[in-house]
Structure 1
Amino acid sequence: MARIAAKVASTALHRITTPQHPLSDLAAPSAHATTHDATAQLALSVDLPYPTDITAACRQLQREVTEQVAHLTGLDISEVMVTVRRLVVAGQPGRVR
């Protein structure tokens, strides 16, 4: 399930961020999943382009990952926690403070 979530997150991030930041060099998202009965909790770690609306991007990502992973796995997704690993300036790999 973690691989599914990471792939869905990658696709969603590409769509969410590419129009504003086509040159961003973002690392692939990583994911961790915990399941209990028919419910799952997901944790994602992502890079985001800078500048960006971090809150809006994370909310959109949570919404899309929740919907797509639930659809693909048939599980109820109770939580998608998003951690931003780093902010990447368009066309410049590295960290921004």
Structure 2
Amino acid sequence: MPPPVPPAAASPEPGAIAYPGEKGIPACERGATAIADRVVAKIAAQAAREALARVPEGGSAPHAAVAVHQGHARVRISLELDYPCDIGGQCRAVRRRVAERVEALAGMVVPEVAVRVERLHSVHTRRAAQGRLR
């Protein structure tokens, strides 16, 4: 009696299409996934909001711009902060959170997160501005 044929060498089912180099790879593992830059930017902006205690009164939420190339995402975050605050500490927290969330949710390596502080919002200037508007 001849030896049994291993499953990988067995002939495909009738009507099945055989692709070269894909023997034994299930259909659910073949193909590619592409994540748009704007999706990664939304993840990054949300992560920046999570890292900050709050958005300053009268300020806008963080915005992100992302460049994705071969599984690497370079992220630029623009944000506004309250004054006074630990600007360096806030920026470090944002960089750390953005890198963690993009890696976890999009599966991309994040070699760089550039944070730009666009504006500082002071409680004193807000009060003065409110007094002039009355």
TM (norm. structure 2) is: 0.59
Whether the 8 Å CA contact 1:12–1:64 is kept in 2: the answer is yes
Q: Does 1:5 align with 2:47?
A: no
Question: Which of structures 1 and 2 has the larger relative contact order (alpha carbons within 8 angstroms, sep 6+)?
Answer: 1
Which runs of structure 1 show a deviation greater than 3 angstroms over 4 or more consecutive aligned residues? Answer: none
Q: Does 1:83 align with 2:122?
A: no
User: Structure 1: any 5+ residue segments left out of the alignment?
Assistant: none
The one-letter amino acid paired with 2:122 is V
Q: What SS does the aligned partner of 1:40 have?
A: strand
Whether the 8 Å CA contact 2:62–2:78 is kept in 1: the answer is yes
Seq. identity, %:
37
- Aligned match for 2:56, one of 24, 30, 34: 24
Whether the 8 Å CA contact 2:75–2:113 is kept in 1: the answer is yes
Q: Does 1:59 align with 2:59?
A: no
What is the Cα deviation at residue 68 of structure 1?
1.2
Rounded to whole Å, the distance in 1 between the matches of 2:82 and 2:90 is: 10
What is the Cα deviation at residue 32 of structure 1?
0.3
More strand by share: 1
Q: What SS does the aligned partner of 1:82 have?
A: strand
The one-letter amino acid paired with 1:77 is V
RMSD: 2.1
TM (norm. structure 1) is: 0.80
Count of aligned residue pairs for this structure pair: 87
User: Could you say which structure has the larger radius of gyration?
Assistant: 2
Whether the 8 Å CA contact 1:24–1:90 is kept in 2: the answer is no
